[in-house]
């Protein structure tokens, strides 16, 4: 019985100086159609162990002759990389990295008073706020309690992105809002295709979660001190 020949694999050298891949040919073709790979992009052909220009690969030449109208628009085409500067989590990333990251994001519009998701819903994505305002809330005994108001530059759902657990609160729109969504599946793709791009993002998330935990610890200690003070007053 003959062994099946493995499909050829490719890696792409991005404008952000990050190597993406390995990719099989169908995914490489998709990237060409999405304009993530251009004629001048460098492609590493793994079985030949050599870098070549994408336009020089026989399997890709036909696609670079296609008219722009025949090519699919990249995800998030309505949002520019500069817009990501509004998000605190991306503050330290370079513009070239943001341009690459944008390909993995989805644009989500939420109208005023709409509910994005409810407490207990399955969480499998995080969100970044580019425009508008939302609130995180809990409803108990028919009464809503606002936990936090979220505006431009804020983000939420990072824990759900990492562990895909149930949502801990309702998220509702106070205004018409424009969000960017990073699904867990897309994040796994980033980790697989471009770990050098995933690293600064994970570091930023880690810092954010740590800061929130420290803030919660400070509030907890303050509540204990307040309770002790009240008990001493009533003695």
pLDDT at position 51 over 50: yes
The answer to whether 9-70 and 81-212 have equal CATH topology is no
Please tell me the least confidently modeled range out of 60-64, 109-113, 143-147. 60-64
Residue 203 near residue 209 (C-beta atoms within 8 A)? no
Q: What is the CATH number of domain 81-212?
A: 2.60.120.10
Q: Where are the domains of the chain?
A: 9-70, 81-212
Cα 195 to chain centroid, rounded: 14
pLDDT at 25: 85
pLDDT at position 57 over 90: no
pLDDT at position 102 over 80: yes
For tokens 């706020």, what's the residue? Answer: 129
Please tell me the least confidently modeled range out of 30-34, 67-71, 141-145. 67-71
Q: What is the pTM assigned to this prediction? A: 0.66
Give percent of the chain with pLDDT exceeding 70. 84
Residue 166 near residue 121 (C-beta atoms within 8 A)? yes
**Mean pLDDT for the chain overall:** 81
pLDDT at 71: 37
Q: What is the CATH number of domain 9-70?
A: 3.30.1490.40
Residue 105 near residue 83 (C-beta atoms within 8 A)? no
pLDDT at 4: 55
pLDDT in tens, 146-166: 999 999 999 999 888 888 889
Conformational region of residue 97, where left means phi above 0, alpha means psi within -120 to 50, and beta covers everything else: alpha
pLDDT at 72: 37
Give percent of the chain with pLDDT exceeding 90. 23
């Amino acid at each position: 019985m003959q062994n099946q020949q493995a499909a050829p694999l490719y890696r792409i050298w991005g404008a952000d100086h990050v190597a993406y891949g390995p990719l099989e040919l169908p995914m490489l073709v998709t990237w060409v159609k999405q304009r993530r790979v251009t004629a001048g992009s460098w492609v590493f052909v793994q079985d030949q162990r050599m870098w070549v220009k994408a336009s020089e690969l026989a399997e890709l030449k036909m696609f670079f002759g296609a008219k722009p109208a025949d090519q699919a628009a990249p995800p998030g085409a309505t949002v520019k990389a500069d817009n990501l500067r509004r998000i605190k989590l991306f503050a330290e990333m370079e513009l070239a990295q943001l341009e690459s990251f944008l390909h993995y994001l989805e644009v989500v519009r939420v109208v005023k008073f709409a509910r994005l998701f409810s407490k207990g819903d399955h969480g499998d994505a995080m969100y970044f706020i580019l425009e508008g305002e939302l609130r995180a809330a809990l409803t108990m005994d028919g009464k809503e309690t606002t936990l936090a108001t979220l505006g431009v530059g804020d983000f939420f759902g990072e824990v759900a992105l990492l562990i895909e657990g149930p949502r801990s609160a309702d998220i509702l729109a106070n205004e018409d809002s424009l969000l960017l969504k990073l699904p867990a599946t897309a994040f796994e793709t980033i980790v697989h295709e471009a770990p050098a791009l995933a690293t600064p993002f994970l570091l930023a998330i880690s810092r954010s979660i740590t800061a929130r935990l420290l803030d919660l610890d400070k509030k907890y200690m303050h509540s204990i001190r307040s309770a002790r003070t009240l008990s001493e007053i009533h003695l």
